[in-house]
Amino acid sequence: MDHGNAATRGWNPPNRAGGTARRCDVLVIGGGPAGSTAAALLADKGWEVVLLEKDRHPRFHIGESLLPMNLPLFDALGVRGEIEEIAMMKYGAELCSPHHDWKQTYLFSDALDKSWPHAYQVPRAAFDHILLRNCARKGVKVIEECRVTRVGFPKAGGCVVSAAGAGQGEQVWEARYLVDASGRDTFLANKLGIKRRNPRHASAALFGHFTGVERLPGRDEGNISIFWFEHGWFWVIPLRNGITSVGAVCWPRYLKSRASSSEAFLWETIALSPGLSSRMRNARLTTPVTATGNYSYMAERMAGKGYVMLGDAFAFIDPVFSSGVFFAMNSALLGAETVDGALRHPARRRIYEARFDKAVRRGLTSFSWFIYRMTSPTIRDMLMSPRNVCRIQEALLSLLAGDVFRSRSVHLRLLLFKAIYYVNAARAARRSFAAWRRRKRALRDDYREPAAG
């Protein structure tokens, strides 16, 4: 298939001989964590990089909870000190179940690799701005308020991109490689017609920022809390300056049932969790409540001749394990290596792409198995009563830390965890079947946020 034809249908790019197109080695779409990371790393490798960002930073974004394995990436970029200045220390996660009389805390220091005992909670506006400024310092040409509208892949190679800037009219760029880090806009996957809804998962979310939310005591103050409830689960993410991010990830069918405003419905949903309600008895909403549609999708491929897709531009499943920013940045690291290799050794392009594909999918698969079963009563019981037989609990902590790309020992122990899960599910066959049937019904639903209300 000629992917370029699919992307350029109905568009004739300007004649190259006319001199209307600007040129660079790599053009990056999107200035979030994936785009900024890839741009900075490619600039470090000596390439001329241009980054086009549709908004102006800083701008609000969700996804404030990071993983320990983000820290080596911050070190590689040289931004760890800046990020620590805006962050709260996160040493682990607290799980709260309405079916258990206790809370379970997981600490990253208990993972198989003890080298990364903490992560951060960050305000995403400031965090993303740090990463964007960093890539500009490294020589990347950053153009904000510039939205990419069209793309083509000429047979001779490279790409031609058209973009509309605020008050600047149309810009046309020619680049040897395109990096799509457009996030949930999934620019290239949409243009190529390869974005697919994930048939194995469906969820929708409702969230906002609050003050006055009760925090955990002492060293645990910055830990994320997860609350299961009848229709899904809640996140509680403490940030600096007394702000707490609170959101509900639910079956789409539940969000479809709302008959009130988004703000009222979020409070009604919080009331369904006594544990969370207790911590929010003095809380006050400080931002508008945002509702999002189905989180779960994946593109058919993440690379081709002249392009790679990073982070959410390729796939997104669910935020339950705070993996979004880590996957975005890690895929940017792997994607930058792929682009650099393909530009230097064009004959080996497919080899680099295959390695990139395998590595990214392996991490997604590791998290996905747990995400698909997060509302299963069997997985809930196992997470609330962990056992470290054969160091399985340590491997689970390694997964929660994001350490799913380096160690074979982690994957072997997670396989043992899965085997135990299936045995336990079989022992409670009636309960497991009821949960499976409920999930199947939920997967048939979709949710689209109304235009108003």
Q: Tell whether 133 is covered by a domain.
A: yes
In this prediction, residue 362 has a pLDDT band, given cuts at 50, 70 and 90, of confident
Domain shared by 301 and 286, yes or no: no
Domain shared by 346 and 217, yes or no: no
Name the residue among 259, 122, 266 with its Cα closest to residue 204. 266
The three-class DSSP label of residue 148 is strand
**pLDDT for the residue numbered 17:** 38
**pLDDT for the residue numbered 19:** 47
Domain shared by 134 and 269, yes or no: no
Q: What does the radius of gyration of the chain's CA atoms come to, in whole angstroms?
A: 22
Q: Tell whether 178 is covered by a domain.
A: yes
The three-class DSSP label of residue 345 is coil
Q: Which of 305, 337, 363 is the last residue of a domain?
A: 363
Domain shared by 15 and 107, yes or no: no
Cβ neighbors of 241 (< 8 A, separation 6 or more) are: none
Domain shared by 285 and 391, yes or no: yes
In this prediction, residue 111 has a pLDDT band, given cuts at 50, 70 and 90, of very high
The CATH number of residue 451's host domain is 3.30.9.100
**pLDDT for the residue numbered 296:** 79
Domain count, the chain: 2
pLDDT (tens digit per residue) in 284-322: 999 999 888 766 788 999 999 999 999 999 998 777 778
Domain shared by 110 and 129, yes or no: no
pLDDT score of 202 more than 80: no
Q: Which of 319, 336, 363 is the last residue of a domain?
A: 363
In this prediction, residue 445 has a pLDDT band, given cuts at 50, 70 and 90, of low
**pLDDT for the residue numbered 254:** 84
Q: Tell whether 83 is covered by a domain.
A: no
Instruction: Give the pLDDT mean for 364-381.
Output: 88
Instruction: Give the pLDDT mean for 81-109.
Output: 96
Give the count of beta carbons closer than 10 Å to the beta carbon of residue 429: 9
Q: What's the 3-state SS for 9-69?
A: CCCCCCCHHHCCCEEEEEEEECCCHHHHHHHHHHHHCCCCEEEECCCCCCCCCCCCECCCC
Angle between helices 324-344 and 33-44 (to 10 degrees): 30
pLDDT (tens digit per residue) in 325-345: 999 999 999 999 999 999 999
Domain shared by 304 and 431, yes or no: no
Return the sign of the alpha-carbon dihedral for residues 410, 412, 416, 422: positive
The CATH number of residue 49's host domain is 3.50.50.60
Distance CA 320, CA 201 (A): 13
Domain shared by 30 and 153, yes or no: yes
Exposure string (b/e) for 198-229, b if CB count within 10 Å is 16 or more? Answer: beebbbbbbbbbbeebebbeeebebbbbbbbb
Distance CA 136, CA 63 (A): 23
Cβ neighbors of 307 (< 8 A, separation 6 or more) are: 153, 159, 177, 178, 179, 180, 188
**pLDDT for the residue numbered 103:** 95
Q: Tell whether 225 is covered by a domain.
A: yes
Domain shared by 281 and 302, yes or no: no
Q: Tell whether 85 is covered by a domain.
A: no
Domain shared by 16 and 153, yes or no: yes
Q: Which domain holds residue 320?
A: 3-78+123-197+297-363
Domain shared by 358 and 443, yes or no: no
Q: Which of 340, 363, 386 is the last residue of a domain?
A: 363
Between the CA atoms of 268, 385, 379 and 252, what dihedral angle is there, to the nearest 10 degrees? Answer: 10
In this prediction, residue 446 has a pLDDT band, given cuts at 50, 70 and 90, of low
Give the count of beta carbons closer than 10 Å to the beta carbon of residue 277: 14
Instruction: Give the pLDDT mean for 159-175.
Output: 88
Q: Tell whether 342 is covered by a domain.
A: yes
Domain shared by 211 and 277, yes or no: yes
Q: Tell whether 192 is covered by a domain.
A: yes
Q: Tell whether 368 is covered by a domain.
A: no
- Asked if omega into 72 is within 30° of 0 (cis), the reply is no
The kind and range of the H/E element at 204 are strand 204-211
